Amino acid sequence: MQKKILALAVAGLFSGAAFAQTNVTVYGAADVTFDNVKSEGAAAAGFNLPARNRVSANASFLGFRGSEDLGGGLRAVFQFEGGVSNDAAVTGVGFSFNRDSFVGLAGGFGTVAAGILTGPTRGLGTTMDPFAGANGITVNTGLLGKLGGGAGASQFDTRWNNAIAYTSPTFSGMTVTAAYVANENKTSDGFAGTAGQLDTYGYDLGLRYSLGPILAGLTYNQVSIGDTANTETAATRAAFRYNFGQGTVGLVWDRVELEATGIDRKRNAWFLPVTFNVTPTGKIVAQYGQAGDVSGLSNTGAKLFALGYEHSLSKRTIVKAVWSQISNEAGANYGFGANPIGVGVGAAGADPRGFQVGVRHSF
């Protein structure tokens, strides 16, 4: 009831008539942690970062979603969702509709939506991450989708701009999703044959099965950059999770490929996410991930260790304490998939690590 009252109040600021026939829900999460992080072991001097404290917003967001019954089983659906930088000490709280924001039609045929979208590859990775909010220094995007390193999430684990997607109805637990990313950045004819040439487009396909204690998924995502080097990247991802009542155990497999003129790189990675309920309101959460060497490049693998405890104070509020470390081989520079800690992770062999304690409230 409080959500609907707030939604009506927000809608009234714009146009009561425009929202009169639409059911709007306000939702979101406030997630802030106190962190201590560092990075050490870099092969090059000057890239180790000593321990420092910080306050981090981990997937804090605010969203509005709604639908309108158009008759005959057809509905108009929309969503506007944005990240909230509620850890900004100087500039204040920042907000932008940079998360899944779209409009579409839904019915017995499924759902068609266009806008900023999470594709099935990113969606499967997020679903398999066992930590609340799938964000922070423990997130599996520290290794997934990457070739030898990089801080933050890879292109396969970020939302697609300028996208359109179809999601099928669920048949016996099975759902199909297909997304296309439009080539809006295509350059003019004048750029042909120069380094400025671009014609980027991609597609993201996924199958997901969810029934009872079992969840399984398979996705394939390919992106063509459209540059003069004919760069193409692709990710194949498979996952399985079983809920045994007292907790969950899963397995994620991820393969990334890069092809361009004179370049052919591949890399496999896998994750083992687990949860275990130790009390009715508390659980241990952990995952271990390992990225193999990039083909043709030795000592480019890495491992990610993450361990935490989450305690529910209510259905919507949890307190948490987590620890994570990425161990890079001498030629790798993987960094945290969210809240990276700076230039130190850019040096080969640097090992980012840290712990977080905080509160997450969902509404």
Per-residue confidence in pLDDT tens, the chain, 363 aa: 445 444 444 444 344 444 445 689 999 999 999 999 999 888 777 778 889 999 998 889 999 999 999 999 999 999 999 988 877 654 455 678 889 999 999 999 999 999 999 999 999 999 999 999 999 999 999 999 999 988 889 999 999 999 999 999 999 999 999 999 998 888 876 665 556 788 889 999 999 999 999 999 999 999 998 888 889 999 999 999 999 999 999 999 999 999 999 999 999 999 999 999 999 999 999 999 999 999 999 999 999 999 999 999 999 999 999 999 999 999 999 999 988 886 555 578 889 999 999 999 999
Can you name the residues that pair with 361 across neighbouring β-strands? 30, 317
**Contact yes or no for 255/121 (Cβ under 8 A):** no
Q: Does 27 fall in a domain?
A: no
- Return the CATH number at 167: 2.40.160.10
- DSSP at 227: S
Q: What distance in Å separates the CA atoms of residue 95 and residue 98, rounded to the nearest whole number?
A: 9
Number of domains in the chain: 1
Q: How many CA atoms lie within 13 A of 225 on its CB side?
A: 16
**Contact yes or no for 55/30 (Cβ under 8 A):** no
What pLDDT shows up at residue 189?
64
Cβ neighbours around 46 below 10 Å, total: 8
Can you say how many angstroms the Cα of residue 290 is from the centroid of all Cα atoms in its chain?
18
Q: What are phi and psi of 344, to 5 degrees?
A: -60, -30
**Contact yes or no for 195/228 (Cβ under 8 A):** yes
What pLDDT shows up at residue 10?
44
- DSSP at 58: -
Question: Tokens 């420092």 label which residue?
Answer: 52
Q: Does 146 fall in a domain?
A: yes
What pLDDT shows up at residue 12?
44
Q: Does 15 fall in a domain?
A: no
Q: Does 219 fall in a domain?
A: yes
Distances 363 to 12, 122, 146, 198, 226 between C-alpha atoms, Å: 21, 23, 33, 41, 42
State pTM to two decimals. Answer: 0.88
Q: What distance in Å separates the CA atoms of residue 5 and residue 179, rounded to the nearest whole number?
A: 34
Distances 160 to 32, 97, 114 between C-alpha atoms, Å: 26, 13, 10
Q: Does 19 fall in a domain?
A: no
Q: Does 14 fall in a domain?
A: no
Q: Does 246 fall in a domain?
A: yes
Q: Does 29 fall in a domain?
A: no
Question: Tokens 């969950």 label which residue?
Answer: 248
Residue length, the chain? 363
What pLDDT shows up at residue 344?
53
Q: What distance in Å separates the CA atoms of residue 303 and residue 289, rounded to the nearest whole number?
A: 6
- Quick one: tokens of 65? 């979603």
Question: What residue numbers bound the domain in which 112 lies?
Answer: 36-362
Q: What distance in Å separates the CA atoms of residue 45 and residue 269, rounded to the nearest whole number?
A: 29
Cβ neighbours around 145 below 10 Å, total: 26
